[in-house]
Structure 1
Amino acid sequence: FLSFSAELPGEPAPGFQLRSVDVVLDCHYIEEAVGGFPGAFAGSFSSDPATLVLRGVSIADDGSLDSVTNYEVPGTSADSTSPIIFEVSETLVPIPYAESLLHADCAGEEVTCEISPYSLHVADEMLTQASWFMGTLKLSSGLSIALVLKVRSDREEDGGVAVLHPRLKVPVSNEGTVLTTVEFQLSSHTPALRARLGSSVSLDCSFALAPSSPLASLEWRLQHRGSGRRVFHYQAGDTVQAEQPGAQVDVVQLLETGDASLRLHGVRVGDEGTYICLVSTPQHQAQNIIQLQLVEPPRVRLFPELVSREGNGVSTLTCEISGYYPLDVSVTWTRQAPDDKGKVPVSGSSTYFSSHRQAQDGTYSVNSYLSINTATELAPASHSCHVFSHLALEEQITASAQLRAPEQKISNGLVGIFIATFIFLAALIGLMLRRSKTVDEKSEESLETSG
């Protein structure tokens, strides 16, 4: 079983104090290129450097934050080359996993940050007067965060005239930065999971909403090999619809804490694929994508365990590999005699495979065969089947069979011949003794008669 972990938001550890710090991330501003240059392909995108500043985030201070200073906006110019700087406030919605983002460099993790324009899920005349952006943050450990950002203008609040960013065409601060607040955040610390067949797994999905944006619906969907189906659905005010046996979301936690995690019990091969956690409000919609990969290690059996030299001098070892998932598995054969320092690989025409077979539960099996010419194998040896290179294996599986020494079989034959000869001689001697006794008795009778 594989999962990715990150520090969950919560109360600071005992003895730690919360400290307000700025978290600064290097990002890319991604925008669809519309009429950017002649011959541009529809759907092409442009990418420009940007900076995301999470202002005043509360972090548990263990004494290591003394060197952290607040971010200072560099000098800006009022032209198209102005830097793209987003300042984010968590006044309405807290930013999750901020401590992991702050310490990513020290932990040796890479942070991928992208910001792009965001369109509202449902058009609203009042809301569409504002501009919206989506920030997507991913750590190399697997943590994923989506932030729906609403642009605000401090100049408008002061009664002044808003100045627009020359590139983004949205209001900027006196320093030329784009001021935003988090209206909706969606996160997951398990974007990729690997689990055994028959086990239970939890696909993490959590969210937080501004007070003005109530939850409208939650939907979990599964996509796999070009087809999709709905696994779970909840509509505000309606009853829960679990559309797959063994799929469960705790609706109480969903409504109280924003925990939209999907729990699957007794997962089967058909449960593998890409899961989409889709959270919607009347205006917003965001999603997490989680990959679930199922694995099952192979069972290995080698027979016969002891090879004799009877018959036509050719014996076949069968290595049965069964019950594994997914399909790919590697098999090799080795031979080791008493005088060998190590195992010697065996290959060529003496080894071959059966075709793959798939059981009703979706697992696979295959047989690997090794032919042994017992007429030329004059010394005892161990032949082994090695199964490796499978996703569910941490180490290879080895099964071995023994080739009986020909000397052992010959000596057993000699013992049998000796025993048979001994019995024959004993019987012959006994017969001769009985005949001798009979002759002696007849001679005595003749002497008595003549006397």
Structure 2
Amino acid sequence: MAVGEAAASRWLQRFLWPLLPLWCCVSPADFLKVEMEGKNQTVLLNDNVTISCKVSGSTPLDINKSGIIWYLKHQANETEHKVFVMYADIQKAFRPGASVSPAGLEKGDVSLHLPGVQLRDAGEYRCNVVVTPEEAQETVFLKVLASPECTLFQEQATVKNDGDKYILCKAYGFYPEDITITWYTWTQKNQEISAVITTGPAIKKEDGTFNITSRVRLEHNVTTYQCVISHRSLPTSCRLNFTQFWRESEMGNTWGPIETSFVAIGCFGVVAAAIIRLIYCYKKRKLLLRSHDPVPQEETKDLELDAFMMSSDGGWSEAVLTQMDNKNHMLSQRTCK
């Protein structure tokens, strides 16, 4: 037994000794490696993304002796499927638009390019490179975010809410679902006070993004409302302001909002109506004056002449003058009508 083991030991020594120099000359850097930039990568919805993957140890990469396969594993169902395959002169994209740059292959760059990223593109990507007889692979998780579109507007009063008015703050098309909406309200003296706030649940849309609405009731002692929306897709919070102006009512001490645009339009309408009425009266008076006969100045001159002649005889010049005055009075009345 001991003789057999000794014989086997001597045989291994004779076989492995010549290979020892070759083994010592192989450093860890000579083995195929795949390097990726971190374990997580984030992209916004509808943006383009390049998932980095670089090969070391075999650069420049000979594509005729290499194979590249990109896989995607969805986090929801843990299923893995091919995204892109390249081997020699064969290239196939299983996801529309997926590609690997042929120019980058010469430098050992097998990064995957995806245009117009959607929510379904999120998951774990595996970069698998085969350079016969070696194989290497690495993974990275791609997160897809959607930034909310923020709006702020005033809701009209309705019977169901007893005539109260509200300011609505809405966030559209965001992902993931977690979002924070905060209200800040100030009085005319810049004093922060509490308000009646109602925030509904996030509603999922067909494309996988979410919508949410929050509202605050308008109060008589509040002049400024601010809605602050925070989401992981936003580098800074979205802030929207609404300012209302108040005036004292002519009937008591109640207060009401001044709708400045309607006041301006109303004043303009009153002035315009007054100008139109003045023009109308002026034209109407002018037409009435033109519709009557001109004043017969000849009759007046005849009466004056008769009065002068009669007065020279000392007779009834006064009666003639009276007749002349009466006739002039009738003519003047006829002109003014």
Distance across 1 between alignment mates of 2:157 and 2:188? 16
Matched, 1:276 2:155: no
Matched, 1:234 2:86: yes
Contact 1:336 1:383 in 2 (8 A): yes
Number of the residue aligned with 1:400: 241
Distance across 2 between alignment mates of 1:282 and 1:273? 29
Distance across 1 between alignment mates of 2:135 and 2:110? 14
Compute the TM-score of the two structures, normalised by the length of structure 1: 0.46
TM-fit CA distance, 1:409: 7.1
Compute the TM-score of the two structures, normalised by the length of structure 2: 0.59
Distance across 1 between alignment mates of 2:17 and 2:121? 47
Closer, same or farther: CA 181–332 of 1 in aligned 2, 3 Å:
closer
Q: Read off the aligned partner of 2:53 and give its amino acid letter.
A: C
Q: How does 1:150-229 map to 2 (within 5 A)?
A: 156-157=20-21, 180=28, 182-189=30-37, 191-210=39-58, 215-225=65-75, 226-229=78-81
Q: Read off the aligned partner of 2:198 and give its amino acid letter.
A: Y
Contact 1:319 1:367 in 2 (8 A): yes
Measured against aligned partners, the alpha-carbon deviations of 1:85-109 in whole angstroms (never above 9, x if no partner) come to xxxxxxxxxxxxxxxxxxxxxxxxx
Distance across 2 between alignment mates of 1:323 and 1:365? 6
Contact 1:275 1:291 in 2 (8 A): yes
Number of the residue aligned with 1:113: none
Q: Unaligned stretches of 5+ in structure 2?
A: 1-11, 257-265, 271-337
Q: Unaligned stretches of 5+ in structure 1?
A: 1-128, 130-151, 159-170, 420-451
Distance across 2 between alignment mates of 1:335 and 1:307? 20
Number of the residue aligned with 2:97: 246
User: Structure 1 or 2: larger helix share?
Assistant: 2
SS at match of 2:217: strand
User: Structure 1 or 2: larger strand share?
Assistant: 1
Equivalences, count: 236
Measured against aligned partners, the alpha-carbon deviations of 1:294-352 in whole angstroms (never above 9, x if no partner) come to 222211112218989xx9452222211112122111011121001134x4454xxx322
Contact 1:307 1:404 in 2 (8 A): no
Number of the residue aligned with 2:204: 358
Distance across 2 between alignment mates of 1:259 and 1:266? 22
Distance across 2 between alignment mates of 1:279 and 1:407? 77
Task: Choose from 240, 258, 262 the match for 2:108.
Answer: 258
Q: How does 1:114-133 map to 2 (within 5 A)?
A: none
Distance across 1 between alignment mates of 2:133 and 2:19? 26
Closer, same or farther: CA 268–306 of 1 in aligned 2, 3 Å:
same
Contact 2:229 2:238 in 1 (8 A): yes
Number of the residue aligned with 1:287: 137
* CA RMSD, 1 decimal: 3.8
Distance across 1 between alignment mates of 2:163 and 2:155? 17
TM-fit CA distance, 1:154: 9.8
Distance across 2 between alignment mates of 1:245 and 1:287? 23
SS at match of 1:247: coil
Number of the residue aligned with 1:327: 177
